[in-house]
Amino acid sequence: MRFYSKKNIVWHAIFFHLFAFIVQHKCRKGRIANVCGYSAISSRRFFVEFCTIKLNNMKLFVKSALLVVMAALFSVTAFAQKTTEAKNVKRMKATILNAEEFREKVYDYTKGGSEFKFEGERPVVVDFFATWCGPCKMMSPVMDELAGEFAGQVDIYKVDVDKAQEVAAAFGVRSIPTFVFIPKEGQPRISTGAMGIEVMRNYINKELLGK
């Protein structure tokens, strides 16, 4: 779309007025004079309408350009925010606990008694695994992703059954991977075997967060 500068508009004005002046003075007789006068007036009107259309188009172009710039800035900001959030999620990992850390943060099974007393501040998922276990290795990136996704809502912990056998025994773990879902209030729930991330996510939302 072409737009005229102020300088071009001035030159067009001079041209059209000069043309109107010549027509009015050259056509002096009867009907021809009226026709020429009408032509001169029409020329002026054409020029005015021409400039008005150009100015209106320029205003429309400026508004459209501003909207495009604002939309682009919003998109860039949203993309940058999502990228930052994605990077933060990728940096999160499930926390590996030894026996002592487990007793402090989750459940102190050495105190005896049949009553389960949760020591944590947020709901917990405990992944009992072993380094030699194939299905456990498959679940590792799943647990890391969920640790980032539910950061601040649910704590995702991992316990190596070879290094913390007493913790595994406290929950009766006999096969791996075994997952223990511990709500903030209530009794733990145990699930054995690998599962997809959607199944795990839905279980966390439903059983631990009540969504």
Residues marked as catalytic: 133, 136
Q: How far apart are CA 174 and CA 98, in angstroms?
A: 18
Q: How far apart are CA 106 and CA 103, in angstroms?
A: 6
Q: How far is CA 128 from CA 34, 79, 175, 200, 208, in A?
A: 102, 37, 9, 15, 18
Opening angle at CA 210, ends 111 and 86, nearest 5:
95
Provide the pairing of β-strand 155-160 with 124-129. Answer: parallel
The secondary element (H helix, E strand) that includes residue 160 is: strand 155-160
CA 37 to chain centre: 66
Estimate the share of the chain in helix, then strand, then coil, as percent rounded to the nearest 5.
60, 10, 30
